[in-house]
Amino acid sequence: MIVFAPKQTRYEVTVFTDIECGYCRKLHQEMSELNGLGVKIRYLAFPRAGIGSSTYDKMVSVWCADDPKKAITDAKADRPVPPKQCDNPVSEEYNLGRALGVTGTPTLVLENGQLVPGYVPAQRLVQMLEAEKSRAAAR
Catalytic center residues: 18, 21, 24, 48
Query: What angle, 0 to 180 degrees and rounded to 10, lies between the N-to-C axes of helices 54-64 and 68-76?
Result: 150
DSSP state of 102: -
Whether 92 and 60 have beta carbons less than 8 Å apart is answered as: no
Whether 15 and 111 have beta carbons less than 8 Å apart is answered as: no
The DSSP result for 27-45, as a single string, is HHHTHHHHHHTTEEEEEEE
Q: How far apart are CA 20 and CA 17, in angstroms?
A: 9
Report the DSSP beta bridge partners of residue 4.
41
**C-alpha radius of gyration, the chain, whole number:** 15
